[in-house]
Amino acid sequence: MSWLDGTVLVTGATGFIGGRICERLVQAGARRVRALVHSMHRAARIARLPIELCSGNLLETDSLRQALADSTVVIHCGLGSARGIVRGTENLLSVCREGKVKRFVHMSTAAVYGLTPPPGSEVEDAPLRLTGDGYCDNKWRAERAVLRAGQRGLPVVILRPSIVYGPYSAWSTRLIADLREHRVALIDGGKGACNTTYVDNLVDAVFASITNDRAVGNTFFITDGEAITWKDFIRVHMAMLGLKEELPQVSKQEAAAYYRNRPGVVAGSVKAAGRILRSRELRQLLLQIPAAERTLSALWGRMQSLPEEKQQSIRSRVGVLPKSQVALKNGFVIPDEITLATQTGTVFFSIEKARKILDYRPRILFTQGAALVEQWLRFANYL
């Protein structure tokens, strides 16, 4: 019996990656796909598909038990709130141990090494350490929970993609909006490693993790395996818009100095604070300043004391990906702190392990992926 004849549960199904996984499962002929949906109003994309939408929450074990039911494959892309990343994963794992799950594919992230991964983190067994960034650290903690469940007998596979792009991706829609508004600068010449992962390549890796038994218990970096820089990534989007002018340049030092001198600019709202709180680099910078320290500590404390639901709503507004970059009046562009951290890495992750064990072959090259994104952006009225 093929795994496609059993029930497949997808968490995080209303997201960009989870949504595409649902579509691909339908295209592959999966008999029964069940999507765990926390925010029903975000389900427009997957509601088009002949799949089951199952209302539930990673933090409510009963709802997970109901959603899981007879599922034999679980693809876990759900995040939940900051604490939910870990607790939600633990809840799901514990429910899976009770069920008939034959494969648990955990969507982790290369950001377990931080938003700016240190040199040496090219391969999967590079040592991990806490980065101080809530998202990165919680994704690492979630990985550990998955591995523990694996040791207890659950057949788990961990995938660590990096910059996953494709139709519907906010990397592209936000970049297009920012380029239109002249809010994009090349940081350090745009030479930072982008580690693009076309979403369908990632789905291929998910499917390979399910069909290939040698994958069990393993962790894999998944990228397109091409040395694409942020300059390359930004340039293809400029071409879609027909923009030919040179982008403003900014160095990491200049941007850091800007934030050092104007803590109020970023610490001025809860919204901004949410982003700051996930950026260790900036937090440390700001903590050197007494006034900012007070603001931050107060906000941090307040955020932690809020009910889970509220934290989640703040988090959903703040988002995981960088928000729009900051544009200044004199035309000088300062990227926000997450963009700064994300676009200044030097590490290109190796996909050798995935090639060897998963037989993973990225089918869509960057130029093809970019062309598909462009087709979608045109249809969706972004271009």
Partner 1 sequence: MRPDKIRLGILGCGTITRLEHLPAALAHPDVDLIALVDSNTDRAHALAQSRSVQCRVSADYRPLISQLDAVVNALPNSLHAPVTLDVLRAGVHVLCEKPLAIKASDAEACAAMAEEQGLVLAVGMNRRFAASHKLMRLVLDEGALGSLKSYRCDYGGAFDWKSASGFYFSKALAGGGSMIDLGVHLLDSLIDWFGPVSKFSYQDDNWGSGIEANAILELQHSGHYGLVEGRIQVSRTFPLQNRLLVRGREAEAEVNADDHDALIVRRVIGGEQVSQTLRLPNFPKTSSFYKQLDNFVQSIRGTQKPEVNGKQAALVLQLIEDAYANARRIPEPWSEIPAGIATQPGKVMA
Question: Token digits for 182?
Answer: 């002249």
Residue-by-residue DSSP string for 70-82 = TEEEEEE----SH
State the Cα–Cα distance between residues 6 and 161, nearest whole angstrom. 26
CB of 204 to partner 1, least distance (A): 5
Residue 4 or 256: which CB sits closer to partner 1?
4
**Spatial CB neighbours of 12, under 8 Å, sequence gap ≥ 6:** 18, 36, 76, 77, 78, 79, 107
CB of 5 to partner 1, least distance (A): 8
CB of 105 to partner 1, least distance (A): 12
Residue 174 or 280: which CB sits closer to partner 1?
174
CB of 69 to partner 1, least distance (A): 18
CB of 48 to partner 1, least distance (A): 4
Of 22, 33, 28, the C-alpha closest to 77 is 22
Residue 270 or 365: which CB sits closer to partner 1?
365
CA distances from 349 to 61, 128, 189 (A): 35, 14, 21
* Residues found near partner 1 in the complex (CB under 8 A): 1-5, 23-24, 26-29, 40-51, 53, 55, 72, 102-103, 166-168, 200, 203-204, 207-208, 210-211, 213, 363, 372-373, 375-376, 379-382
Residue type, 233: F
CB of 92 to partner 1, least distance (A): 20
Backbone angles phi, psi at 127, to 5 degrees: -65, 140
CB of 375 to partner 1, least distance (A): 5
State the Cα–Cα distance between residues 65 and 62, nearest whole angstrom. 5
Residue type, 56: G
State the Cα–Cα distance between residues 60 and 44, nearest whole angstrom. 23
CA distances from 192 to 61, 109, 217 (A): 41, 18, 31
Residue 102 or 353: which CB sits closer to partner 1?
102
Q: Which helix (H) or strand (E) holds 366?
A: helix 366-379
**Cα Rg of the chain (Å, integer):** 20
CB of 15 to partner 1, least distance (A): 13
Residue 72 or 91: which CB sits closer to partner 1?
72
Buried b (16+ CB within 10 A) or exposed e, 166-202: bbbbbbbbbbbebbeeebbbbbbebebbbbbbbbbbb
CB of 120 to partner 1, least distance (A): 31
Residue 249 or 375: which CB sits closer to partner 1?
375
Residue 12 or 345: which CB sits closer to partner 1?
12
Residue 207 or 348: which CB sits closer to partner 1?
207
Residue 207 or 258: which CB sits closer to partner 1?
207
Backbone angles phi, psi at 371, to 5 degrees: -65, -40
**Residue found under tokens 């004199």:** 330
SS3 of 37, please? Answer: strand
